[in-house]
Structure 1
Amino acid sequence: MTVTYKELPAIPDLMAEYKGAAKNMVPVVGAKRSATKDPSTGFEVRGVTIDIPHLAAYADATGLRLGNELPYTYPYVISFALVMKVMSTDDFPFNAVGGVHLTNVIEQSRPLTVDDVLHIRTHAENLRRHRKGLLIDMVTEVFVEGEDADTPVWRQTSGFLAKGAKLSSSADATVAARNEDTGSLFERPEIPADPTPTAVWPVDQAGIRIYADASGDKNPIHVSSLGAKAFGFPATIAHGMWSAARILSGLEGLLPAAGRYSVEFAKPIVLPTKVAYFTEKDGDTWKIQLRKASKLETLHAVAEVTPA
């Protein structure tokens, strides 16, 4: 599938994109979805500069270091509105509302910096079956203007699951022939033999509201008890990408400049709680687990960081 990128003058407002996605759920008014092929519409924005106060707020909300180099996960928050915009196009195979973020893989060839001027583009690919519905990959690439226009410095692949969705009977042969995928990056790890965590972090509503403000992601499941319960959660839950960023904060000063950060989300972090953070060095690879501190059997996330 050839992707056509529509250029936008600026990164859209994330909450406006959320509202558009919610509108698509309304009968008659909303777009009709058909899972037949990979979407052909992507979006891109050129001339993106780093807002230092925004970066500082993000670092404060996640425990990451504020410096000249951008954290691995920071481009996610400045580009996520483009992901939502792709999910709102007429040729996207399922509704964005209710989509579950299962995995995230970030690859960077060098750290992006506060002085870089960015060209960001996003598209969707690899629609395939999952035992619970359909999976699709959202791919975001970041180029640095003035450098190689064909090679991204930073690339992210986010796996999203639409529970209950099915391929159309008229799906393209290429899509229909794809094997069912578990959506997993890792085998589920055992509880570490030494149950003493590297760190224990409290997670509460106040902290997640700070992250919501910093990231712009004020999805009701994160900031509203009623909103969370409407989607089947007993209380508000932490953002998956808050977890991803917080995991990296425990490795400050140890992360490779060029590397790959892979994270798979398991059980949501229901607020308030404490999480236990476990790290292990295996050669050049950091292996990380995030578990519920009061019940280590509950795995929230598993991750790896490897040098490029």
Structure 2
Amino acid sequence: MVAVVELSEGPGTGAAYARAALGMLRRGGSTLPDVELVHRGVVVDREHLARYDRVCGLRLTDTLPATYPHILAFPLAMRLMSAGDFPLPMIGLVHVSNRITVRRAIDSGSRLDLTVRAVDLRAHPRGRQFDVVATASVDGEEVWRGVSTYLRKEASPSAAPPSTSSSAAPAGPTGGAVWRLPVRTGTDYAAVSGDRNPIHTSRVGAKLFGFPRQIAHGMWTKARSLAALEGRLPESYTVEVAFKQPILLPSTVRFTSVPTAAGWEFGVHSKRPHLTGQVR
């Protein structure tokens, strides 16, 4: 039976990062905690929403962007993944994909009930992965659902060796819109999202995890992509993305999109793909 933990106020992310640092040496377990965190009656801070919109290139409206409830639920996810009974250390997890379903437009004046669970710990060729499922409801009706898939890279004797091919990566698509991303892209998004992972905000922190410099947040890239499609999206839809090569900051990338029978396909590329996605 799922244990439901009701929170009377939203948890901060600072304490979660501190717990995550202490949990870096945690030994791997095989079972996710069967718990659901719930925070009811969440009210949107419209000034914060406006800052988020500006950072992500979104229009300033009274309707929540598809990615904004992810920001509201993120502290719950942080608390869940940094808890002592979580089987995998939070630091080092790789956000590999994200799927959001918007069931109807959400007015910024709505009071939201948020839930977060971790489910489906499973094997992956490079380690193990699991899903963090978040929902937002208004008056008992689910209006939004997000599924974030995280990968914990682990050595595996059965894993295929890395490719030694010397062939060059295929060129990215041409056309579309060129985005020039300054270094502050990481720190600006960290300030509005609460995701202050040092790989996004500090050159030194990024180097500690094998990056030559800071990288852009994947969820910023998704939000910025949806901003580029604003005015062409229906009231209800599902948008799913896969995070590919990280975007080093500063950087210049290209956004492309094509309509399909089901909706849209889009991507962010430079010499290599950084994000691929589809709207249905």
Write out per-residue CA displacement over residues 12-68 of structure 1, whole angstroms, 9 at most, x where no aligned residue: 11122112111212x5xxxx4442223212211011000001000000000011111
- Alignment of 1:248 with 2:226, yes or no, is yes
Aligned length, in residue pairs: 268
> SS at 1:112's partner residue?
coil
Residue 134 of structure 1 contacts residue 165 of structure 1 at CA under 8 Å; is this kept in 2?
A: no
Write out per-residue CA displacement over residues 141-181 of structure 1, whole angstroms, 9 at most, x where no aligned residue: 1111xx2x2x4210011000001178xxxxxxxxxxxxx9x
User: What code does the residue aligned with 2:275 have?
Assistant: A
1:244 and 1:224 map into 2 onto residues whose CA distance is 21
2:27 and 2:69 map into 1 onto residues whose CA distance is 29
- Alignment of 1:154 with 2:144, yes or no, is yes
Q: Which residue of 1 aligns with 2:58?
A: 64
Change (3 A) 1:235 1:257: same
Change (3 A) 1:158 1:98: same
- Alignment of 1:279 with 2:257, yes or no, is yes
Q: Compute the TM-score of the two structures, normalised by the length of structure 1.
A: 0.83
Q: Which residue of 2 aligns with 1:175?
A: none
- Mapping 1:1-308, distance limit 5 Å: 2-25=1-24, 32-144=26-138, 147=139, 149=140, 151-164=141-154, 195-292=173-270, 295=271, 298-306=272-280
2:44 and 2:17 map into 1 onto residues whose CA distance is 23
Residue 29 of structure 2 contacts residue 87 of structure 2 at CA under 8 Å; is this kept in 1?
A: yes
1:98 and 1:123 map into 2 onto residues whose CA distance is 19
User: What code does the residue aligned with 2:79 have?
Assistant: K
Unaligned runs of 5+ in 2: 160-169
2:274 and 2:111 map into 1 onto residues whose CA distance is 35
1:108 and 1:93 map into 2 onto residues whose CA distance is 30
1:136 and 1:72 map into 2 onto residues whose CA distance is 22
Write out per-residue CA displacement over residues 198-242 of structure 1, whole angstroms, 9 at most, x where no aligned residue: 201011112322222111222111110000000110100000101
Q: Compute the TM-score of the two structures, normalised by the length of structure 2.
A: 0.91
2:87 and 2:69 map into 1 onto residues whose CA distance is 25
User: What code does the residue aligned with 2:213 have?
Assistant: A
**Identity level (%):** 39
> SS at 2:142's partner residue?
coil
Residue 185 of structure 2 contacts residue 216 of structure 2 at CA under 8 Å; is this kept in 1?
A: no
1:111 and 1:155 map into 2 onto residues whose CA distance is 13
Residue 38 of structure 1 contacts residue 125 of structure 1 at CA under 8 Å; is this kept in 2?
A: yes
Residue 40 of structure 1 contacts residue 91 of structure 1 at CA under 8 Å; is this kept in 2?
A: no
